[in-house]
């Protein structure tokens, strides 16, 4: 029996890169000495007050259906947080609450694009984005951010990628995996082209809360009629498993999103929404904690890998990841990833999973304990020493 063509569109080109990650997780579950540096899931606990609020709501019977777009209290809290971050004043009815940023991007894709359209996205990009943006039938157009330019925004390449079929530009800032944050000048180019060629901008800002000062440059305030902002509590509040994300968009987009979520999600659990309201009320404290966490661990990992032979890297602007340039080791990034796990039981992610621009790089997460960072880096050094002597 045949499956839908949709199955091919959502398979994803980077799926194989996660096999090593899954193997490492299974090894840890068996009690083996594997080190997982392949996922951005902080080892911090969700703030106690947030957990307590969820338990209180759960024990109070908050286990029934909720509205598709989210409760007004949570939507209002997100609107206020968004206004403070971006300078764009929005009302609660311009917010849709969804099951994490991934769900929000999936819904945005279905509401904005279709067959014959093109979606521009900066390469490298997170591994699920190609499938997510092409699920609607649109074609993904990758704009290469070059390694020899530290993966900074390539304005000329972006201009050349725009065509009469361009419907959406997906911009992730800070970027995963590079950690690059777009500047105000970068956004000026994107905004000018969006106005001239009449396309939507989807700004994925899930890491914005842990960027310097808790926000990043953008154009939501000046181009509010064509910008859709994606946000989440996962990274900023150590709430990855709670699955709380959102879209902030013009009201007509939110109306379409609400209709779609009726047949997809039918609303987040009420007790989780109540916890999310509490979490947003603690954003200044939670985000400051996470910024310090990321800064300290990034510096620790960098200090432990700074003098590796044939390895280069630069600290990210923001985020939870360090990209190692392994092109001078004589191994492809895929072989480096697989060899490192086979010999030292350390899982990292092949940069090729994120796009052509990061072939020859591997992504390491420093969102784990200092002890695991030290052990993982010790094993990486041992693996690299073996390469230099072979």
At 7 the pLDDT is 74
- CA 94 vs. chain centroid, Å, equals 22
Three-state secondary structure call for residue 267: coil
Q: What percent of the chain has a predicted confidence (pLDDT) above 70?
A: 97
Give the pairing of strands 139-144 and 166-172.
unpaired
Three-state secondary structure call for residue 324: strand
Choice among 14-23, 27-36, 77-86, 181-190 with the minimum mean pLDDT: 14-23
At 390 the pLDDT is 58
CB atoms within 10 A of CB 20: 22
At 387 the pLDDT is 87
Q: What is the secondary structure of 196-243 as a DSSP string?
A: HHT-EEEEE-TTGGGSGGG----STTTSTTTEEEEEESTTTTT-GGG-
Fold of 49-282: 3.40.640
Enter the DSSP assignment of 7: H
Q: Which CATH architecture is the domain 5-45+285-388 placed in?
A: Alpha-Beta Complex (3.90)
Q: Using the predicted structure, report yes or no on whether residue 172 has a pLDDT greater than 70.
A: yes
Angle at 94 between CA 88 and CA 100, to 5 degrees: 100
**What are the pLDDT digits (tens) for 94-127?**
999 999 999 999 999 999 999 999 999 999 999 9
**What are the pLDDT digits (tens) for 249-270?**
999 999 999 999 999 999 999 9
Residues paired with residue 142 on neighbouring β-strands, in sequence order? 121
**Mean pLDDT, the chain, as a whole number?**
94
For 88-99, what is the mean pLDDT? 97
Tokens of 208: 């914005």
Phi first, then psi: what are they for 273, rounded to 5°? -65, -40
Residues in CB range of 178: below 8 A, 6 or more apart: 124, 145, 151, 316, 323, 358
Residue 323 backbone zone (phi > 0: left; psi -120 to 50: alpha; other: beta): beta
For 173-185, what is the mean pLDDT? 96
Enter the DSSP assignment of 3: P
Choice among 130-134, 195-199, 384-388 with the minimum mean pLDDT: 384-388
Q: Using the predicted structure, report yes or no on whether residue 13 has a pLDDT greater than 70.
A: no
Instruction: Give the model's confidence band at 8: pLDDT under 50 very low, under 70 low, under 90 confident, else very high.
Output: confident
Tokens of 88: 């764009």
Closest CA to 357 of 105, 157, 136: 157
For 25-29, what is the mean pLDDT? 94
At 14 the pLDDT is 61
Within the chain, all domains assigned CATH 3.90.1150.10 are found at: 5-45+285-388
Give the pairing of strands 118-123 and 166-172.
parallel
For 272-282, what is the mean pLDDT? 98
What DSSP element (H or E) covers 123? Answer: strand 118-123
CA distance 214 to 131: 29
**What are the pLDDT digits (tens) for 334-371?**
999 999 999 999 999 999 999 999 999 999 999 999 99
pTM: 0.93
Three-state secondary structure call for residue 322: strand
Of the ranges 9-18, 41-50, 212-221, 270-279, the best mean pLDDT one = 270-279
Q: Is 23 exposed, middle or buried (0-12, 13-18, 19+ CB in 10 A)?
A: middle
Find out whether 152 and 184 touch, Cβ atoms under 8 Å: no
Find out whether 294 and 320 touch, Cβ atoms under 8 Å: yes
Tokens of 80: 């206020």
Instruction: Give the model's confidence band at 10: pLDDT under 50 very low, under 70 low, under 90 confident, else very high.
Output: low
Enter the DSSP assignment of 180: -
- CA gyration radius for the chain? 21
Residues paired with residue 144 on neighbouring β-strands, in sequence order? 123
CA distance 59 to 57: 6
Residues in CB range of 8: below 8 A, 6 or more apart: none
Within the chain, all domains assigned CATH 3.40.640.10 are found at: 49-282
């Amino acid at each position: 029996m045949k499956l839908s063509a949709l199955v091919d569109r959502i398979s994803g080109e980077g799926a194989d890169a996660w096999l090593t990650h899954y193997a490492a997780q299974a090894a840890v579950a068996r009690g083996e000495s594997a080190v997982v540096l392949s996922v951005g899931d902080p080892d911090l606990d969700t703030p106690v007050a947030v957990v307590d609020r969820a338990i209180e709501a759960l024990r109070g019977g908050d286990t029934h259906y909720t509205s598709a777009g989210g409760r007004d209290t949570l939507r209002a809290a997100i609107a206020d947080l968004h206004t403070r971050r971006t300078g764009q004043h929005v009302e609660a009815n311009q917010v849709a609450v969804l099951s994490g940023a991934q769900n929000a991007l999936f819904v945005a894709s279905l509401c904005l694009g279709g067959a014959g359209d093109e979606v521009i996205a900066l390469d490298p990009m997170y591994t699920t984005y190609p499938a997510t943006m092409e699920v609607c039938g649109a074609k993904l157009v990758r704009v290469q951010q070059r390694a020899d330019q530290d993966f900074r925004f390539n304005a000329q390449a972006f201009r050349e990628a725009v065509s009469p079929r361009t419907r959406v530009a997906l911009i992730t800032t800070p970027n995963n995996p590079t950690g690059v944050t777009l500047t105000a000048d970068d956004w000026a180019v994107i905004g000018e082209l969006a106005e001239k060629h009449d396309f939507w901008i989807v700004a994925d800002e899930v890491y914005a809360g842990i960027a310097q000062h808790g926000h990043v440059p953008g154009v939501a305030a000046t181009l509010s009629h064509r910008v859709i902002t994606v946000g989440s509590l996962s990274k900023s509040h150590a709430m990855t498993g709670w699955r709380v994300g959102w879209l902030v968009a013009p009201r007509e987009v939110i109306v379409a999103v609400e209709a779609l979520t009726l047949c997809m999600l039918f609303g987040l659990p009420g007790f989780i929404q109540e916890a999310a309201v509490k979490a947003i009320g603690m954003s200044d404290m939670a985000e400051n904690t996470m910024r310090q966490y990321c800064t300290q661990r990034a510096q620790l990992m960098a200090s432990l890998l700074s003098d590796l032979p044939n390895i280069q890297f630069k600290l990210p602007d923001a985020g939870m990841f360090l990209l190692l340039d392994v092109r001078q080791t004589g191994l492809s990034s895929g072989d480096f990833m697989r060899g490192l796990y086979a010999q030292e039981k350390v899982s990292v992610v092949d940069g090729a999973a994120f796009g052509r621009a990061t072939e020859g790089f591997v992504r390491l997460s420093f969102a784990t304990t200092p002890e695991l960072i030290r052990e993982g880096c010790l094993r990486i050094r041992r693996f690299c020493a073996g390469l230099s002597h072979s």
